[in-house]
Chains A and B, each alone.
Chain A
Amino acid sequence: MAVKRKSEFRKIMKKYWKNGTAVLGTCLLVFFIIVAVFAPQIAGVNEMGNNYQIPRVSWSSKPIAPTSEHPFGVIGGRDIFYGVVWGTRTAFRLGLIITGFSALIGVAIGSISAYFGGWVDEILMRIVDIFLSIPFLVAAMVMTTILGKGLDKVIIALIIFGWMSTARLIRGNILQAREEQYVLAAKALGQKDWKIIMKHILPNTIFPVVVQMSMRIGSYVITAAGLSFLGVGAEPGYADWGTILSYSRNWMTMLNESWFAIVFPGTAMVLFVLAWNLVGDALRDIFDPRMRS
Chain B
Amino acid sequence: MPLILIGVTLIIFSMIWALGPDRLLASYIKSPEALKTPDAAERLIKKYGLDEPMPVQYLKWLGNILQGDFGYSMVGKKGVLPAMLERFPYTLELTIYAIIPVILVAIWLGVVSAVHQNKFIDQFIRVFALVGWSLPDFVFGLLLLLVFYSLLGWFPPGMVNTQFDLIMRSAEWNKITSMPTIDALLNGRFDIFVDALRHLILPVMTLAYLWWAYLLRITRSSMLEVLRKDYIRTARAKGVPENIVIQKHAKKNAMIPVLTVAGGSVIGLLGGTVFVETIFSRVGMGRFLADAATLLDYWSIIGGALFFSFIMIVGNLVVDVSYALVDPRIRLE
Sorted nearest first, the 10 A-B pairs with minimum C-beta distance are A130-B7, A256-B150, A274-B134, A266-B139, A273-B134, A255-B150, A255-B146, A222-B136, A135-B271, A138-B308
Interface residues of B in 206-253 (CB under 8 A from A): 224
Task: State how many angstroms separate the Cβ of A223 from the closest Cβ of chain B.
Answer: 9
Residue interface bits B297-321, CB-to-A below 8 A is 1, else 0: 0100110110011001100100000
Q: Which of A134, A226, A266 lies at the interface centre, i.e. has the most chain B CB atoms within 10 A of its CB?
A: A134
Q: Which of A126, A252, A273 is in CB contact (< 8 Å) with B3?
A: A126
Known interface pairs A135-B312, A142-B12, A145-B301; A126-B146 also in contact (CB < 8 Å): no
Q: How distant is the Cα of A67 from the Cα of B117 in the complex, in angstroms?
A: 47
Whether the pair B16, A133 counts as a contact (CB closer than 8 A) is no
Q: List, sorted by A's number, 25 A–B pairs whose CB atoms are closer than 8 Å.
A: A126-B7, A129-B4, A130-B4, A130-B8, A134-B305, A135-B309, A138-B271, A138-B274, A138-B304, A141-B289, A143-B15, A218-B134, A226-B137, A231-B293, A231-B294, A245-B139, A255-B150, A256-B150, A262-B139, A263-B143, A270-B131, A273-B134, A274-B131, A278-B130, A293-B224
Q: How distant is the Cα of A229 from the Cα of B139 in the complex, in angstroms?
A: 10
| Interface assignment of A146: CB less than 8 Å from any CB of chain B | yes
Whether the pair A134, B294 counts as a contact (CB closer than 8 A) is no
| Interface assignment of B41: CB less than 8 Å from any CB of chain A | no
Q: A146-B16, A231-B294 are known; give 14 further A-B pairs, CB within 8 A.
A: A130-B4, A130-B7, A137-B271, A138-B289, A138-B308, A141-B274, A141-B293, A141-B301, A142-B302, A145-B301, A226-B275, A263-B143, A269-B136, A270-B134
Residue interface bits A136-153, CB-to-B below 8 A is 1, else 0: 111101111110000000
Q: How distant is the Cα of A157 from the Cα of B130 in the complex, in angstroms?
A: 27
Whether the pair B271, A262 counts as a contact (CB closer than 8 A) is no
List B contacts of A214 (CB < 8 A): none
| Interface assignment of B267: CB less than 8 Å from any CB of chain A | yes
Q: Which of B142, B224, B267, B298 is in CB contact (< 8 Å) with A135?
A: B267
List B contacts of A273 (CB < 8 A): 134-136
Interface size class of B (residues with CB under 8 A): 35 or more
Q: Which of A131, A137, A225 lies at the interface centre, i.e. has the most chain B CB atoms within 10 A of its CB?
A: A137
Q: Which of B11, B131, B142 is in CB contact (< 8 Å) with A248?
A: B142
Task: State how many angstroms separate the Cβ of B126 from the closest Cβ of chain A.
Answer: 9
Number of residues from A at the complex interface, CB < 8 A: 47
Known interface pairs A137-B274, A262-B139, A266-B139; A277-B301 also in contact (CB < 8 Å): no
List A contacts of B290 (CB < 8 A): 141, 230
Q: How distant is the Cα of A278 from the Cα of B294 in the complex, in angstroms?
A: 35
List A contacts of B157 (CB < 8 A): 252-253
| Interface assignment of A254: CB less than 8 Å from any CB of chain B | yes
List A contacts of B322 (CB < 8 A): none
List A contacts of B294 (CB < 8 A): 230-232
Q: How distant is the Cα of A104 from the Cα of B313 in the complex, in angstroms?
A: 27
| Interface assignment of B278: CB less than 8 Å from any CB of chain A | yes
Q: How distant is the Cα of A263 from the Cα of B140 in the complex, in angstroms?
A: 10
| Interface assignment of A127: CB less than 8 Å from any CB of chain B | yes
| Interface assignment of A259: CB less than 8 Å from any CB of chain B | yes
